[in-house]
Amino acid sequence: MTTQATETGPVIRFTDVCKRFGEKVVLDGFSMELSRGKTLSIMGPSGVGKSVTLKHAIGLLTADSGSVEVFGRDISEATSAELAEMRKRMGYVFQEGALINWLSVGENVALPLRENTDLGEDEIRTLVEERLRLVHIPDAWDLMPSEISGGMKKRVGIARALITDPELILYDEPNAGLDPEIARSINALIRELQEGLGVSSLVVEHRIDCIKTVSDEVLFLDGGKALVQADPEEFFHSNHPRLARFFGKESA
Amino acid sequence: MAEATEIQAQEEPAAALKKDAAFISFLRSEGERIELLLRTLRRLGHTPKRARLVYEQMFLSGIQTLHVVLLVGLFIGMIVSLQTGIELAKLGQQDQIGTIVAISMAREMGPFITGTILTATVGSAIAAELGTMSVSNELDALKVMSIDRLSLLVLPRLVGLALIAPLLTLVCDTVGIIGGAFVAQAQLNVGYEMYMTSAIDALRPTGFLLNLPKDLYAGLIKAVVFGGMIATVACNEGLKTTGGALGVGRSTRSAVRDSIIGIIVLNYFMTWFMYQA
């Protein structure tokens, strides 16, 4: 009963989350929600805790206080088996790709299927080739991570995150290190996944063109709190003094 | 004088606290390793699924170390033969050189030398590989994909090293005994036949454990334990690496240092258990 109710609620909900590393307070009463099937982008100065937020959402970090709910379940209360099941419904695109360096591109993308499903090799190969085509690297199967560029690693990371058809994808700077053409195609892909498949996405990004393309909502994180959360139109026309200062629009 | 006494009084509790912290840190570290070993052993049933990775680990470990084992084993056998031969010659007991070299190699030198070589070459490589994976978020990537890291990364290395260590030990024992024979013949005037007869007599079958000589199987059991211990220590150090390239260096150093200490300490206790207890 409860599961049914929560499964229709927000995909991610942060409530008064606090996190400190030693003396440094990174999140200080941070709250936000990501609605099902929507894309929320998080913006903010460097070192403000954007990636830390993503890591909380997937259970790589635990909040000092407050709660992080994903698919209606408090992550801190989930057992490791429950957490593993939740993670199978999620994809995570790391900033540098985080490809397993001793596996080829194809083996990297196939890894979640080989480890967590009973699919046959032929079926896995078809799915992997399909995902590699989707991120515009159809012939990269046999290349090793050390042989490919940073942008290509990012695309392999996206293909790997997509391979299990996740309901929720967390992107850590999906445009970093990509040329404008590939960046546009990645942004279009994020949008397509949301519109076509109803995938919910939480995106950490600095590039305004990416945020404008992919987001349903934008959140500005600063001082450990969500200062502004609004749709892109409203966000980029906001009169909030901190946002104005961030975008260099502050009057003299 | 009073001031000096006061300073000393302040420093003593601080020094005691420091010692306590170091001891607690040592216990915690050993506890982590034992926990990792037990958690990995619980996954032994995954070995058939990881057969390719186990085979790769054995192959790489064998290739990386075989030439070193051959060279070091040969010279260790020659040294043992020369050192004992000189003394035995004074007593007119040169015919016992083969016995001493064979027993020394099988019981102690073979597993010890192989363990040390595996630590320096394979253990350090494992710690560096896993450490690099840790600092480049690859371990986190496995975690977020719900992939069992112990089954994928630790089990093949543990099983691979535990299997390759006794094979390399056998090679080390053999070349050591052959090296001893060269020296016995060339420098101590002990005939090859006499040397080999005494060596083979020393390693008499026992009717236990595939009818292997006790000195040989005791050495091989030690090698299995050393192989498992080296893999556990190296994997544990690698998995908990933080702090970029410096952290990888620290983990590699700790893995090598602690594995060599582990080999020596375990060697003593296993020798005591197998020969005295």
| Residue B3 pLDDT level (bands cut at 50, 70, 90) | low
Interchain CB contact of B133 with A (< 8 Å): yes
Q: Using 50, 70 and 90 to split pLDDT, how confident is the model at A1?
A: very low
Does A239 reach chain B within 8 Å, measured CB to CB? no
| Interface membership of B142 toward A (CB under 8 Å) | yes
- Chain A residues whose beta carbon lies within 8 Å of the beta carbon of residue B146: 84-85, 87-88, 112, 115-116
Specify the DSSP element, H or E, that contains B145.
none
Model confidence over B54-102: pLDDT tens digits? 999 999 999 989 999 999 999 999 999 999 999 998 888 888 999 999 9
Work out the pLDDT band at B4, boundaries 50, 70, 90: low
Contacts of B137 in chain A (CB under 8 A): 94, 96, 98
| Complex ipTM | 0.86
pLDDT-derived band at B267, boundaries 50, 70, 90: very high
Using CB atoms and an 8 Å cut-off, which of residues 83-142 of chain A contact chain B? 84-85, 87-88, 90, 92, 94, 96, 98-102, 111-112, 115-116
pTM assigned to the model: 0.86
Of B258, B241, B27, residue with least CA distance to B153: B241
A5 pLDDT exceeds 50?
A: no
Test the A interface: residue of B145, B149, B155 with most A CBs within 10 Å: B145
Place of tokens 């010692």: B19
Chain A residue numbers touching B126 (CB-CB < 8 A): none
* pLDDT of the residue at A3: 40
- Whether the CB-CB separation of A222 and A48 falls below 8 Å is answered with yes
pLDDT, residue B1, reads 56
Residue of B nearest to A89 (CA): B145
Residues of A in contact with B60 (CB under 8 A): none
pLDDT at A6 over 60: no
The shortest CB-CB distance from A116 to any of B141, B143, B146 is to: B146
B35: phi then psi, degrees, rounded to nearest 5: -60, -45
| Interface test with chain B among A94, A96, A164, by most B beta carbons within 10 Å | A94
Average pLDDT over residues A154-178: 89
Q: Does B52 contact A at CB distance below 8 Å?
A: no
Would the pLDDT of B264 be above 60?
yes
Q: How far is B244 from chain A (nearest CA, A)?
A: 14
* Chain A residues in contact with B133 (beta carbon < 8 A): 100-101
- Contact between chains at B145 and A115 (C-beta distance less than 8 A): yes
Identify the band that residue A4 occupies on the pLDDT scale cut at 50, 70 and 90: very low
